[in-house]
């Protein structure tokens, strides 16, 4: 309930324009209760971002297990014996490019919160979990790929998704073209490039 209220306000106003009292009022609870659960405003933003990351991770792991990718228009990840990197990348890209996720992530980066050991990526290690799940499936496509290769591909995919999602308007403008908000062609080329890297190992 509190995190739902926080996300509504963060989506509408952005992290710099929302405080714990605003969230408490929106959730219909006391400021003390919000402080009790989250401690500080940074703790609340971390929790909201962590919840969004957990939902995205669940969608991606379901795709790895052979379920449908949750991103709209992403398609299915294929049967349990198949791996569709494009569908996996589409699921991740949909989460990263979501305006609320972008706002929360940018706020945590710019405020230095990502350097804290308590920040959820250091605790949860979601990319390590993704690498664990991907490694046997990637080895079927690229038998000589090492764990380091797979971790590089994951890191590169995340970095490209964040960077392009944040800077897409400036990138497309500087290239002299108008960008599609989804930019499926760019994402498809990223998938092709990363899978090509693994296949070349």
What percentage of the chain reaches a pLDDT higher than 70?
Answer: 85
Q: How confident is the model at residue 77 (pLDDT cuts 50, 70, 90)?
A: very low
Using one digit for the tens of pLDDT, what is the confidence trace for 33-57?
Answer: 999 999 888 888 888 888 888 888 8
For tokens 């739902």, what's the residue?
4
Nearest 5 degrees, angle CA 191-CA 87-CA 120?
85
Q: Where are the beta strands (DSSP E) in the chain?
A: none
Please state the pTM of the whole predicted model: 0.73
The residue ranges of every structural domain in the chain are 40-200
Cα 109 from Cα 63, distance rounded (Å): 29
Residue 75 has pLDDT above 50, yes or no: no
Burial class (CB in 10 A: 0-12, 13-18, 19+), 152: middle
What's the confidence (pLDDT) of residue 100? 84
Please report, for residues 50, 96, 125, 178, the alpha-carbon distance to residue 132 in angstroms, rounded to integers and kept in the order given: 20, 21, 11, 38
pLDDT value of position 2? 92
66 confidence band (pLDDT: 50, 70, 90):
low
199 contacts 140 by C-beta, under 8 angstroms: no
Q: Given a cut of 50, is residue 161 above it in pLDDT?
A: yes
With 50 as the cut, is the pLDDT of residue 74 above it? Answer: no
The model's pLDDT over 111-159, given as tens digits with 9 standing for 90+, comes to 777 666 667 777 788 889 888 888 888 777 788 889 999 999 989 998 9
Average of pLDDT values for 47-71?
72
CA-closest candidate to residue 42, choices 99, 128, 101, 120: 120
């Amino acid at each position: 309930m509190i995190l739902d209220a926080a996300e509504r306000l963060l989506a509408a106003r952005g992290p710099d324009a929302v405080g714990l009292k605003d969230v408490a009022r929106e959730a219909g609870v006391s400021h003390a209760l919000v402080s009790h659960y989250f401690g500080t405003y940074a703790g609340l933003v971390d929790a909201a971002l962590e919840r969004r990351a957990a939902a995205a991770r669940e969608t991606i792991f379901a795709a790895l297990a052979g379920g449908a990718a949750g991103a709209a228009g992403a398609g299915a990840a294929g049967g349990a014996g198949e791996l569709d990197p494009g569908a996996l990348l589409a699921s991740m890209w949909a989460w990263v490019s979501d305006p609320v996720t972008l706002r929360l992530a940018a706020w945590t980066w710019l405020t230095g919160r990502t350097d804290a050991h308590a920040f959820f990526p250091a605790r949860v290690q979601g990319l390590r979990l993704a690498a664990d799940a991907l490694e046997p499936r990637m080895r079927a496509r690229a038998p000589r790929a090492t764990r380091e290769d797979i971790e590089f591909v994951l890191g590169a995919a995340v970095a490209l998704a964040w960077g392009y999602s944040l800077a897409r308007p400036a990138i497309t403008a500087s290239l002299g073209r108008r960008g599609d908000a989804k930019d499926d062609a760019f994402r498809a080329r990223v998938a092709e490039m990363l899978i090509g890297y693994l296949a070349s190992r």
